[in-house]
Structures are given as C-alpha cells and as structure tokens.
Amino acid sequence: MANTSAASYPMIGGDGPCSYAHNSSFQRTAVESAQALINEGISENLDVKQLIFSSPSSPNSFSIADLGCSVGLNTLIAVQNIIESVKFKCQADDLCSEAVEFQVFFNDHVSNDFNTLFKSLPCDGQYFAAAVPGSFHGRLFPKASLHFAHSSYSLQWLSRVPKELLDKESPAWNKGRIFYIGAPSEVFEAYSDQFAKDMESFLNSRAQELVNGGLMALIIPCYPVGIPPSQCPMIVIIALLEATLMDMVNMGLVGEDKVDSFNLPKYYPTPQELRSLIDRNGCFSIKKMKPLVRNRGPVNESKIQDPILPLRTALEGPIKRHFGSKIIDELFDRYKKKFLESPIFSQVNKNQVQEMFVLLKREVA
C-alpha cells in the first residue's frame, strides 16, 4: 500500500508562468548531464537476458519508476534515456529489443498535477504509463516488481519537519529561523536524524520493490565540504527567505509565532554522509558515486525575466500550506528584491552545489 501520511509539498503544477514545467531548467540540466552515466551503468551492470528474457513472472517486460516525477519534461527525458539505454544493451547482447514491453510508473505526492504530466506524454506508444501517487518514503509497489528506479532532485525533501523543532521545551526549538544554518547544533542534529530515517525508509522500500539485480539511479544535491555556508548558493537562498520573513514580522505583516512554527523540510547531506547511510543500510551495492559534471554551467537566473520564479516554484508549496495564500505575492516580491541585492545573485553561475550521481544495484546475498 502507498504511504500517503508524509507531508505533501508538490511543485506548482499546470502550464502557467510559475509552474514547475516552465521553471525547472536547472534540474533538467542535471538530468541531461546524468544520461551518459546511466547509459554506462546499464551497459555494465544490467543483466537484460536474466531480468527480461528469462523471467518466469514477467517475460519480455521491463518496469521503470521515476520517484518524485513532478510535472514537465524532466521526468520524460529521464525515462526516455533509460528505455533507450536498455534497448541498446539488448542489442549489444544480441537480444531482440523490439520484443521488450516497457511499463513506466510516474510517482509523486497525491496532490501532484498528474493531469498536466500525462498530457505531455509522447504519442509514439513506446511504453505503458501509470501514475502512482504516494510518498516514496514508504512502499509503493509489489515485491520484486521493478527493474529500474530513478529519482532526481527529490530526496533532499524530508518526509516531515522534525518534531523537536516545534517543541518550545526542546533545545532544538528553532525560534526565529526556518532552517538549520546558523541554528544551534541540536537543530542541525534533528534535521540530520530525520534525513537518516527517511533514507533508511526509502532504501528499505526500494529493496523490497526492485528485483534482484535491478538498478537505481539517484541525483541528490549535497552540501559541498569545505565551502562556508555564506558561499553556498543553495544555503544563502534559504537564508534570504528567512530574512524576508523576519522583515515582514517586524513590519507586522506576519505573526512572529507563525515564523517560529515554520521550518523548511529540506536537508542537504554531505557526500560522505550520503555514502555512509547507503552503506549502513546494506541492501544495495554502490556501483558508481561521483559528483555530477554538468553539460552546461548552472542556469544563470539573471537571463530569466523573473529570476525568483524557479525558487518560488520550489518553495511556494510549504510556505502557502503554513502561512496561507495572502502573503505569497508580497513575500516573493520582497524576496526578489533582497535576492537581487545579494552578492549570491552574481554567483549563481559558480558550481558551488555538489550534485551527486549515485548508481545502486539490488543484490540479495
């Protein structure tokens, strides 16, 4: 059964100017940059003869899941690349790729705009498509039913805000802040512990769902070791949002208690932390784990008519859920001004976000 109990923070759906479909080129570049690594991973690690042509339960079929698919072209690009890589592997092994039937499952929270996504599906009939709503931190599929799982720019979102952050009696009470940067160590530890729990649940669920020998490709933004928080764009961006909210508190536009009870459910692990969690879980072998080298530099938001739109697309969901919709436009107008005045605006082209590409193989002892 799908686990739908986790907090749901979908990206903005539809096809409008604030939609994820029109404001996710940064994430798309990561997906495109990982294509060659996925091709290589499938070529070297996927036994198509055993998994596809010798399977007694589902002969000649191959099942793919994109976890945290959202809407727009990104998920379609990733899926198409996986399919083409599997076909090429079949041909390289002198197997008939045309005989393979592909089933693709698009997963995201129940409030995701699957209608817009499915309107964008290719019409060439290369695969059967289905939506699977629910949190990927729990089980979504029957045992041993998937051959390949993919997730890009999704695992940094936590399943829930650590409860300690909202307890006024706890040393982790995060008063006046919305994130863990600049907060007491207890706040950071609460975030880190929640991420560890989420990763364990995620990996355990996928271990049940992937066939023995199945693969999983992940793209996860990580906090680069050795770079101060003040020089890390993904951290400064959240600090500026926090400062904007506190400005609105001081102006009487937002209640202080509302900010005190709001925390962004995001966490950026270090690459070493991520590897340690995967190793500790023990359900997968790491076939490749390396920083993702982008085909192009990160998107220069100064070339976008409204540089705040990609950030609004990503952050509006949890903010609107907590504060309501009345403050949204003014909040992001003020946020945009603060963002443009910040030195970080001229630094968004600097590669100071360490995106890790991870290829895992399910291997049962």
Considering only CA atoms, which of 352, 155, 184, 135 is closest in space to residue 267?
Answer: 155
Of the pLDDT bands very low, low, confident and very high (cuts 50, 70, 90), residue 312 is confident
Indicate the pairing of strand 127-133 with strand 146-152: unpaired
Structural domains in the chain, CATH included, are 20-362 (3.40.50.150)
Of the pLDDT bands very low, low, confident and very high (cuts 50, 70, 90), residue 311 is confident
- Report pLDDT digits (tens) over 89-147: 999 999 998 899 999 999 999 989 899 899 989 888 899 999 999 999 999 999 999 99
Of the pLDDT bands very low, low, confident and very high (cuts 50, 70, 90), residue 289 is very high
Q: Which amino acid is at 174?
A: N
3-class secondary structure per residue, the chain:
CCECCCCCCCCCCCCCCCCHHHCCHHHHHHHHHCHHHHHHHHHHHCCHHHHHHCCCCCCCEEEEEEECCCCCHHHHHHHHHHHHHHHHHHHHCCCCHHHCEEEEEEEECCCCCHHHHHHCCCCCCCEEEEEEECECCCCCCCCCCEEEEEEECCCCECCCCCHHHHCCCCCCCCCCCCCCCCCCHHHHHHHHHHHHHHHHHHHHHHHHHEEEEEEEEEEEEECCCCCCHHHCHHHHHHHHHHHHHHHHHHCCCCCHHHHHCCCCCECCCCHHHHHHHHHHHCCEEEEEEEECCCCCCCCCHHHCCCCCHHHHHHHHHHHHHHHCCCCHHHHHHHHHHHHHHCHHHHHCCCCCCEEEEEEEEECCC
Q: Say if residue 305's pLDDT is above 80.
A: no
% of residues, the chain, pLDDT over 90:
66
Indicate the pairing of strand 101-108 with strand 127-133: parallel
Let me know: does 334 contact 319? Beta carbons within 8 Å.
no
Tokens of 230: 């003040």
CA 277 – CA 200 distance, rounded (Å)? 7
Of the pLDDT bands very low, low, confident and very high (cuts 50, 70, 90), residue 154 is very high
Q: pTM for this structure?
A: 0.89
Q: Say if residue 238's pLDDT is above 50.
A: yes
Average pLDDT over all residues of the chain: 87
Tokens of 364: 């049962």
Q: What pLDDT is attached to residue 319?
A: 94
The greatest distance separating any two alpha carbons of the chain, rounded to the nearest whole angstrom, comes to 70
Let me know: does 298 contact 224? Beta carbons within 8 Å.
no
**Token pair 């926090």 in the structure block, residue:** 242
Q: Say if residue 350's pLDDT is above 70.
A: no
Chain-centroid distance, C-alpha 352: 18
Query: What would the mean pLDDT of 193-207 be, rounded to a whole number?
Result: 98
- Report pLDDT digits (tens) over 275-286: 999 999 999 999
Query: What would the mean pLDDT of 204-219 be, rounded to a whole number?
Result: 97
Q: What pLDDT is attached to residue 300?
A: 44
Q: What pLDDT is attached to residue 73?
A: 86
List C-alpha distances in Å: 109 to 4, 115, 129, 141, 310. 7, 13, 17, 15, 20
Contacts of 230 (CB under 8 A, 6+ apart): 236
Considering only CA atoms, which of 361, 213, 346 is closest in space to residue 282?
Answer: 361
Q: What pLDDT is attached to residue 26?
A: 72
Backbone angles phi, psi at 266, to 5 degrees: -130, 150
Let me know: does 8 contact 320? Beta carbons within 8 Å.
no
